[in-house]
Amino acid sequence: MIELAMIDLAMIELVGIESAGTEVTGIEIAGHVIALGDPRLWAGVGALVVLAVLLAILRAARRAAGRAEAMAARVGLLAEGQHQLAGGLAQLSEAQAAAQTRVLGLMEHRLSEVARGMGENLQGSALRTARSLGELRERLEVIDRAQARIEELSGNVLGLQDILSNKQTRGAFGEIQLHDIVQKALPADGFTMQATLSNGRRADCLVHLPDPPGPIVIDSKFPLEAYEALVRAPHDAARIEAQRRLRIAIRSHIRAISEKYILEGETADGALMFLPSEAVYAELHANFPELVREGFAARVWIVSPTTCMATLNTMRAILKDARMRAQAGAIRAELAALCADVDRLMTRVENLDRHFGQAARDIEEIRTSAGRAGKRARRLDNFDFEDLPPESGGVAGKASPQASSRAQAGTGGAGPCEEAAASAADDAKTAPRRPAVIRPEGRPLS
């Protein structure tokens, strides 16, 4: 329609345009000239204007409709995209919610595991801590007890130092220690404490060994002051002086023991010098070997508590051997009496065995005779006289010659009882005579 209107407008021509600047007097439309003052012209012009306006409006409306349709399409696309976006957002939110739920569950699981692990670790740590505290408490108690023992030991050491600082108490201490060792190693009658010798000297311990070597003396008095001075020496000069004094004291003590306790014909040709400390014994053998050799030369043997116990055990073996030798005669006499008793017992056993054998043979013969008599009685009871011997004639069956002679000499027929008795008597006569069986109390068996 718009195109037709445009064609009609193109057919309108202005009439009277001759040249530039001429006046327009009318309009030619389709071969018809219409004057400018004609109302139809203005009506047509108005209609054309209205038509043009309408066409413009229609064209604008058409364009607007196209734009609206495009806009609607775009809006639809936007709505569809928004719907898809909403679905995607919903799925995303659901996935996010599910993922968040899983993450929360995993986190809760992890947290529970961590909490449980921490609880177990804390519990284990608490148990270990409690155990450690208990062990620490026990160790502290042990340390307290050890400290108490150390304090007690320090007090004992101080008391021992007080004892050892006095000669008399030191001698009593060594004597008590020696008495304990000797009492554990030897029998009660094997030694004597504080024994008096023929020269009036009193020995700390006298061990009664057989001769040889004879009784031996053990002396427990040792010059400990010189050793203590050696231990407490602050410098080399004092130590050298203490060593010199210790040599002098030990030499004089060895000489005194050799002169006092080695008596010819009364004691052994040697004596023992007892040291109440292993430290003193080790010091002598390590730094004073010449004193040990001098003691050997003087027949004075230096012993410590350990070596003294070994020496006393050897002495106990010697005492035991001497006692066995002393009792050897009595043991030999007892062995001879025991051998005689055994021989006598063997003889009596042989006699008893011989008597039992003879009794067994007699019982076997009696059983044989009884069996034969029973057989004869059964034959007679059954009136089986065919096998019986005749009144006069030879011997039949197992009858003895004595029974046959008695049967021939008898008057008339003998009954079964008489014949059985005669057979038993003949068997008894022909059987060898057995010796009398002796009872244990000495009376013969009947």
The residues pairing with 193 across neighbouring beta strands, listed in sequence order, are 205
Rg (CA), the chain: 76
Q: Determine the pLDDT at residue 169.
A: 59
- Residue 143 counted as domain residue: no
Record the tokens describing residue 137, joined without a space. Answer: 């408490």
Residues 289 and 392 in one domain: no
The residues pairing with 406 across neighbouring beta strands, listed in sequence order, are none
Low-confidence ranges of the chain (pLDDT < 70): 1-38, 41, 156-173, 383-446
- Residue 30 counted as domain residue: yes
The residues pairing with 315 across neighbouring beta strands, listed in sequence order, are none
The residues pairing with 15 across neighbouring beta strands, listed in sequence order, are 26
Q: Determine the pLDDT at residue 395.
A: 36
Cβ-Cβ contacts under 8 Å for 76 (sequence gap 6 or more): none
Residues 353 and 250 in one domain: no
- Residue 192 counted as domain residue: yes
- Residue 62 counted as domain residue: yes
User: How many helices (H) and strands (E) in the chain?
Assistant: 11, 8
Residues 320 and 379 in one domain: no
If one counts the domains in the chain, the total is 3
Residues 175 and 233 in one domain: yes
Task: Give the whole-angstrom CA distance, residue 76 versus residue 92.
Answer: 23
Residues 99 and 207 in one domain: no
Residues 422 and 312 in one domain: no
Residues 222 and 115 in one domain: no
Task: Give the whole-angstrom CA distance, residue 277 versus residue 153.
Answer: 17
- Chain CA centroid to CA 130, Å: 26
Q: Determine the pLDDT at residue 184.
A: 86
* Domain limit, last residue, from 89, 117, 135: 135
CA 53-58-63 angle, 5° bins: 125
Residue 91 C-beta-side C-alpha neighbours within 13 Å: 5
- Residue 385 counted as domain residue: yes
Which H or E element spans position 303? strand 300-303
- Give the domain range for residue 40: 2-17+26-135
Task: Give the whole-angstrom CA distance, residue 389 versus residue 395.
Answer: 6
Residues 271 and 125 in one domain: no
Q: What is the dihedral of CA 47, 50, 54, 59, to 10 degrees?
A: 100
- Residue 146 counted as domain residue: no
Which pTM was predicted?
Answer: 0.40
CA 74-79-84 angle, 5° bins: 125
pLDDT tens figures, 131-183: 888 888 888 888 988 888 888 877 766 665 655 555 555 656 678 888 888 88
Residues 182 and 322 in one domain: yes
Number of Cβ atoms within 10 Å of the Cβ of 269 = 12
- Residue 439 counted as domain residue: no
Q: Find out whether 190 and 316 touch, Cβ atoms under 8 Å.
A: yes
Residues 62 and 99 in one domain: yes
* Domain limit, last residue, from 292, 326, 360: 326
Q: What DSSP line would sit under 152-168, residue for residue?
A: HHHHHHHHHHHHHTSHH
Question: Phi, psi (5° rounding) for residue 411?
Answer: -105, 125
Residues 317 and 199 in one domain: yes
Question: Phi, psi (5° rounding) for residue 71?
Answer: -65, -40
- Residue 68 counted as domain residue: yes
Residues 56 and 190 in one domain: no
Q: What DSSP line would sit under 327-364, residue for residue?
A: THHHHHHHHHHHHHHHHHHHHHHHHHHHHHHHHHHHHH
The residues pairing with 29 across neighbouring beta strands, listed in sequence order, are 12, 32
Which H or E element spans position 34? strand 32-35
